[in-house]
Structure 1
């Protein structure tokens, strides 16, 4: 299935980006799940998604169990959380070791493709808690020595979205019923940013970077902090249960939340007998690239002395928000 794309249209007046628009061509995957037997949903979701596949599959499995009224034991949550954590580590490493160095194109700090590949192979091969704990110890040692990318000089954002708090599944049922929530999600009517920064905002170093208007650097640091938290949690699996949860919203209705590398992922389904009557998926990209969301707010007003500078500024902000599909930038004269 085609993954879709985002088109970022930047209105540039020769000095700054005065406005921005996001056009999403992402397919509505949830519509393909309606009518399926509930037992087939998790496997079908795994087939449909190439990115965050473990998180999507876990959310689907949790939704079905909750809708059926099954009790979610700590053991069941641990079983689903471990592959989600390993996947999140892999995504963070790819972002820091390949995506950022590629964009910055600094010859002295090239993309570390081999290092990233080695880590990802080890993470994919981790089959149980013991092998995951061994990776955790090595990852913590590596993080203590690794030099990770800096976004370089950055202009303070003209505006920013509120940071989405980590809310349990029980808090999402009412909001998920709002019209167009899956396409344009908001929290209490306001746009919000989700991701590692939102989860790590309580860290003192993050607070200082945000106060200085260095939001890109704060997002990169948040990923590093989250890698350290995940590595430590692999050695203590019960801590990983914070990554996901679910609840039966009503008879035959399940809601699930999974924290992914890109932010909060939500699934909601309604059963009709043992089949899927309705399905809703809200991915982190819908939050961060909302038409009035974090990307649009942050890039609007950004100084740019040339078309190349405007595109580069937009690409940096977009990458820091990490869309789950390819995106392209085009300039529109003011």
Structure 2
């Protein structure tokens, strides 16, 4: 299945980006699951999602278990929490070492490519809690020397609110309409999910937010979360906050997984052991909502040239971290 793209169109008047518009060609996989045997869900979803694969797999398995009234044992060999955490750590390292330094064209850790490759290899080789703990100690020590790449920005427009951290049980009553998966809202408003929403209260991040530096705040929050997750490899109990599920009714379950990109929700309804309805609410649908963080922060953003407009849009989009490629088009306002 094609993953689709986000088409980001900027209206530019020669001085600033007047407005932004988003069109998503991302296919809605959840609808294609309807009528299939429930056993196929955990086979199909990890194959389709190339990014956040472990998180998607965990959400699928947990919502099915919840719908069936099954309880996964904490010490089950298939417990997904460690895999979800390691996947997020790799994503955060990739952004901080591989994506942002060349984008900003500033000197940053001469050996960053080799460092990323070495840590990714070690992380992906972890098979149990003991190996995770040993690696966590090494990575924590290394992270003491890592800083967030510097980025000078200042948001002109009022930003959207941040998505609060809710449990699966709290989410159960909030996914209340069919189009929630494509244009989700919280309290009737578009909101932002991800590292900034999870760490906005940290002093350094809060200071950046107060100064309107939201892209830099997201980079700082990403580094904070990377350190938090790495500490969780040594103390696994803290990672339990990443994943949970709840039974909504007989044959209906919902799972929540905190991914590197934000909150991921899966909701399933089962009838005769087949999928009657399935919904996936991914972080991209929150952050690239038609009235969401990207659109709001781009509107009124100063840009003296088309190249400047494109660079600013690219940086903002990457800080919001979509799970599909994006294309930027600039039109005259």
For 1:55, the equivalent position in structure 2 comes to 55
Measure, in 2, the Cα distance between the counterparts of 1:108 and 1:83: 29
Decide whether the 8 Å contact of 1:16 with 1:303 is kept in 2: yes
Q: How is 1:1-334 mapped onto 2 (pairs within 5 angstroms)?
A: 1-76=1-76, 79-106=79-106, 112-151=112-151, 153-334=152-333
| Cα pair distance change 1:245/1:78, threshold 3 Å | farther
| Cα pair distance change 1:76/1:238, threshold 3 Å | farther
Per the normalisation by structure 1, the TM-score is: 0.96
| Cα pair distance change 1:72/1:284, threshold 3 Å | same
Decide whether the 8 Å contact of 2:266 with 2:279 is kept in 1: yes
Structure 1 residue matching 2:122: 3-state secondary structure = helix
Decide whether the 8 Å contact of 2:245 with 2:256 is kept in 1: yes
Measure, in 2, the Cα distance between the counterparts of 1:133 and 1:212: 37
Deviation at 1:68, TM superposition (A): 0.2
Deviation at 1:123, TM superposition (A): 1.1
Deviation at 1:171, TM superposition (A): 1.6
Measure, in 2, the Cα distance between the counterparts of 1:106 and 1:329: 23
Measure, in 1, the Cα distance between the counterparts of 2:209 and 2:148: 19
Measure, in 2, the Cα distance between the counterparts of 1:50 and 1:80: 17
Decide whether the 8 Å contact of 1:102 with 1:111 is kept in 2: no
Decide whether the 8 Å contact of 1:77 with 1:241 is kept in 2: no
Deviation at 1:105, TM superposition (A): 2.8
Deviates more, 1:263-272 or 1:106-115: 106-115
Decide whether the 8 Å contact of 1:4 with 1:325 is kept in 2: yes
Decide whether the 8 Å contact of 1:6 with 1:25 is kept in 2: yes
Deviations 1:282-308 (A, max 9, x none): 100000000000000011000000101
Deviation at 1:177, TM superposition (A): 2.3
Deviates more, 1:228-237 or 1:263-272: 228-237
Deviation at 1:92, TM superposition (A): 0.5
Decide whether the 8 Å contact of 1:209 with 1:215 is kept in 2: yes
Deviation at 1:209, TM superposition (A): 0.7
Which runs of no fewer than 5 residues in structure 2 stay unpaired? none
Per the normalisation by structure 2, the TM-score is: 0.96
